[in-house]
Structure 1
Amino acid sequence: MSKKTIVIAGAGLSGLTLGTALALRGWDVQILERSAELREIGAGLYTWENGLRVLEAIGVYDEACKQVEFITQLDMIDENQELIHSTPFSNGNRFCIIPRKDVHSALVRAAQKAGVQLETSARAVCVDPSGSISLENGKTIKADLVIGADGVYSNVRNALNIEHTVEKMNNGALRAMIPRIETDKKGLAMEHWSGYRRIGISPSTAEYMYVYLTASSDDEEGLSDPMNKDAWLASFPHLESVINRITQTRLDFYFYYIYLKSWSKGRVALLGDAAHGMEPNLGQGAGVSITSALELAKQLDKFDIATALKSWETVMRPTVEQTQLWSRIYGAAAAQWPKELLGVRSEVIRKTLGSEQVDLMMSTAARHITGSVFEIGENVTAKQPKYTWIP
């Protein structure tokens, strides 16, 4: 019996995860990367229990996390330096920040070891639902399954003509890795709030801390490039040591939410940000994407392609939509709170996050375990729950 074939557009975290997982299951896998080299842009990667389980499942955990310091507590702190909320972590509920280049390079090596064919300077421009993908260089490749893991601006998604919405948010962020010093606390991650600006500070490795600074996109001083340190020191004078250690940042001026009525059409499916981009407020954009990638691999291992695509979306969509929803709520509290009510914001958030039900809803993604049991058969479409699609 010949191997099933898959072509994946995009050698980011989700594309590499899916490619490696399917290669380990006997598929013939080809990953196309539009850039001239395989690399990951960014600083640190918030990685919760769901993401760590994915890395374990495809055999990259040890390499990706070999230098990582695990977080034992995450604190939210307001402008008065008072605690808003604290989240503890444990062996069964892990959380860490992995340098993005470390996890990406580990995934590349795992993919190559599993036999995945990786091709660079291969930009996808068009797909056909029958199972073919066309490249900018004129080449067309046919496969049993085609995946668009090509990000927020996905060419694959646009070519499929699936009904969707791309919503640009008035929020952005600066991100950086900074050297650690002796006074930095071990195991403690913090997010400081001041007005509509936030600074997150987390241990990553023995050498580096991960820092992000978020602000409204119309906050020109907050989201300047190069970074305006004076502007941030004015909002967070008590974080002078951290701010002064920032030397190089990555700026994302806007974030996007992506909503699709369906994640697949024929023998083509969309994965990661191409299917369900979101603001990074819950630190689950990448985590949900790689979890979804492994979920798809497991469903394809059980069922024929058409049934697997339906069951995959049935299992994953509730987790994705819940995470998008709570990311929006969190972002609204941070950046859209009425100015005249900023004085009561901390107390309102403190009480809200103290609710066990809210905590469960916000941690839906972190608690997702791939390979969920779901009765799949001829009536799989009828069994799908009704989703709220935001047009």
Structure 2
Amino acid sequence: MARSAIISGGGIGGLATAAALAQRGWDVTVYERQSELRAAGSGIYIWENGLRVLEALGAYEEATEGAFHGTHFEQRDNLDQIIESAPIASDKRLLTVLRSRLLGALKSACERAGVKVVTNAETIGATASGELLLASGQTVRADLAVGVDGVWSRVRQSLGLELLHEQTREGALRTMIASRAGDFAAQDVGKYIENWNGTRRLLVTPVNATQIYLALTCLQDDEARNLPLDRQLWIDAFPRWAHLIERIGDTLSWGVYSVTRSRAWSAGRTAIVGDAAHAQPPNLGQGGGMAMQNGLAMAVALEQAKDPRDIPSALQAWEAAERPLVEHCQRWSILYGEVTCLPDAVRSQVIRSAMGDAWVAGQVFKAANSSPTGTVAPRR
């Protein structure tokens, strides 16, 4: 008889975990609190490690169709001068895609593997015996329960796994705009461009042939974060991109960054994955990639366990193998954000010096250059 798994959360990490388990013979049900599976947010960065997970799940082609494949990641100062322009090696891919497209591709992978999805099912707690407690009063039980329910994870909290959940001083307004001919000068084509001015940042990222993802980052107490958006404040900070900022509509979402740390990623037969276990600021573009990577790694660890019945031991082994890289990525993502409050000239000097050092660059991109566990051809 197939082992059963129940998953709280039908986002990117939850669906990746569900597909990985189902492809290995598990009977999987996902419980999603919303009325349908839908992605919150705009564009998303997927580095080499995340792309390999998509390949392993059979979701790569659908997720990346028409995606922007950049050649350089560039940072510019308050005078629009290049601080650093780092080429992206051909064997270390970085793509940007629509979150909705990525979620759709993972949903398709789940459907092919026989995953069941229950919507309008909010999880309010969990137990170590593989149970999810739903807001409806229902308790569902399986051989394995997984909380992929975000930074405010009720699974993490109810299991007593939370060590830390804090919000940073920074957040971002995210939106999509339609692209037009001439949006990018010849020297800007093919680049992801992060612009700095004081404590404000503007990330300009093409997502496909017709859309551009903008992330407007600032401190929580900055008036520039207020809605409706004062476009002129941002144009004054980044006049080079006035033509894009003027195009921003009313569909904006403000999100402050969170950091979560857990004393363990599991209790008994119940585990936590993604932001529920290890949220990090988006400075390295690894939140989604790490969630997908760890969901796949967990499925592989359970498959390779000496005793398939001993799920708690398999989960502990999974955490022991994966946690060092995750904590490394989280640490460097937080460190990257520390330059926000430096004076412009000092920040430029720090970034240029740091990223020009091979060791530092290796630490920053360590997760992106990793080979995720289980990245082989799709199981079915």
Which TM-score applies when normalising by structure 1? 0.91
Provide the C-alpha distance between the structure 2 equivalents of 1:271 and 1:13, rounded to a whole number of angstroms: 11
Spell out, residue by residue over 1:344-389, the C-alpha distance to the aligned partner (whole angstroms, 9 max, x if none). Answer: 221122011111111111112111212289xxxxxxxxxxxxxxxx
SS in 1 for 2:140: strand
Provide the C-alpha distance between the structure 1 equivalents of 2:254 and 2:231, rounded to a whole number of angstroms: 17
Aligned residue number for residue 322 of structure 2:
316
Indicate whether 1:210 and 2:213 are aligned. yes
Aligned residue number for residue 138 of structure 1:
137
Provide the C-alpha distance between the structure 1 equivalents of 2:136 and 2:162, rounded to a whole number of angstroms: 28
Return the letter of the residue paired with 1:282.
L
Indicate whether 1:290 and 2:296 are aligned. no
Displacement of 1:342 in angstroms is: 3.5
Gaps of 5+ in 1: 374-391
Return the letter of the residue paired with 2:107.
V
SS in 1 for 2:107: helix
Provide the C-alpha distance between the structure 2 equivalents of 1:272 and 1:250, rounded to a whole number of angstroms: 24
Provide the C-alpha distance between the structure 2 equivalents of 1:141 and 1:345, rounded to a whole number of angstroms: 51
Indicate whether 1:267 and 2:273 are aligned. no
Spell out, residue by residue over 1:285-318, the C-alpha distance to the aligned partner (whole angstroms, 9 max, x if none). Answer: 1111111111111111101322321221112111
Aligned residue number for residue 225 of structure 2:
223
Return the letter of the residue paired with 1:23.
A
Provide the C-alpha distance between the structure 2 equivalents of 1:358 and 1:269, rounded to a whole number of angstroms: 32
Gaps of 5+ in 2: 376-380
Aligned residue number for residue 365 of structure 1:
367
The share of aligned pairs that are identical, in percent, is: 38
Asked if the contact 1:225/1:251 (under 8 Å) is kept, the reply is no
Asked if the contact 1:174/1:249 (under 8 Å) is kept, the reply is no
Provide the C-alpha distance between the structure 2 equivalents of 1:110 and 1:372, rounded to a whole number of angstroms: 16
Provide the C-alpha distance between the structure 1 equivalents of 2:162 and 2:122, rounded to a whole number of angstroms: 23
Spell out, residue by residue over 1:210-254, the C-alpha distance to the aligned partner (whole angstroms, 9 max, x if none). Answer: 11110000002x111122101101111121111112114432342
Return the letter of the residue paired with 1:164.
L
Provide the C-alpha distance between the structure 2 equivalents of 1:4 and 1:91, rounded to a whole number of angstroms: 40
Provide the C-alpha distance between the structure 1 equivalents of 2:222 and 2:139, rounded to a whole number of angstroms: 44
Return the letter of the residue paired with 2:317.
S
Displacement of 1:151 in angstroms is: 0.5
Match of 2:260 among 235, 242, 258: 258
Provide the C-alpha distance between the structure 2 equivalents of 1:27 and 1:233, rounded to a whole number of angstroms: 52
Aligned residue number for residue 235 of structure 2:
233
Provide the C-alpha distance between the structure 2 equivalents of 1:225 and 1:203, rounded to a whole number of angstroms: 24
Aligned residue number for residue 177 of structure 2:
178
SS in 2 for 1:254: strand
Aligned residue number for residue 34 of structure 2:
35
Return the letter of the residue paired with 2:315.
L
Indicate whether 1:343 and 2:345 are aligned. yes
Return the letter of the residue paired with 1:233.
I
SS in 1 for 2:229: coil
Indicate whether 1:189 and 2:192 are aligned. yes
Displacement of 1:114 in angstroms is: 0.8
Aligned residue number for residue 333 of structure 2:
327
Return the letter of the residue paired with 2:334.
R
Asked if the contact 2:69/2:95 (under 8 Å) is kept, the reply is yes
RMSD: 1.4
Displacement of 1:260 in angstroms is: 0.6
Displacement of 1:163 in angstroms is: 4.1
Aligned residue number for residue 119 of structure 1:
118
Return the letter of the residue paired with 2:295.
A
Provide the C-alpha distance between the structure 2 equivalents of 1:128 and 1:198, rounded to a whole number of angstroms: 42
Runs (4+) off by over 3 Å: none
Provide the C-alpha distance between the structure 2 equivalents of 1:343 and 1:111, rounded to a whole number of angstroms: 49
Provide the C-alpha distance between the structure 1 equivalents of 2:65 and 2:54, rounded to a whole number of angstroms: 12
Asked if the contact 1:186/1:203 (under 8 Å) is kept, the reply is no
Asked if the contact 2:78/2:344 (under 8 Å) is kept, the reply is no
Asked if the contact 2:296/2:374 (under 8 Å) is kept, the reply is no
SS in 1 for 2:46: strand
Aligned residue number for residue 378 of structure 2:
none
Aligned residue number for residue 15 of structure 1:
14
Aligned residue number for residue 243 of structure 1:
245
Which TM-score applies when normalising by structure 2? 0.94
Provide the C-alpha distance between the structure 2 equivalents of 1:92 and 1:345, rounded to a whole number of angstroms: 30
Higher mean alpha-carbon deviation, 320-329 vs 5-14, is at 320-329
Provide the C-alpha distance between the structure 2 equivalents of 1:194 and 1:163, rounded to a whole number of angstroms: 35
SS in 2 for 1:170: strand
Displacement of 1:187 in angstroms is: 1.6
Provide the C-alpha distance between the structure 2 equivalents of 1:371 and 1:345, rounded to a whole number of angstroms: 36
Return the letter of the residue paired with 2:12.
L
Displacement of 1:88 in angstroms is: 1.2
Asked if the contact 2:56/2:374 (under 8 Å) is kept, the reply is no
Return the letter of the residue paired with 1:294.
L
Asked if the contact 2:124/2:155 (under 8 Å) is kept, the reply is yes
Asked if the contact 2:267/2:312 (under 8 Å) is kept, the reply is no
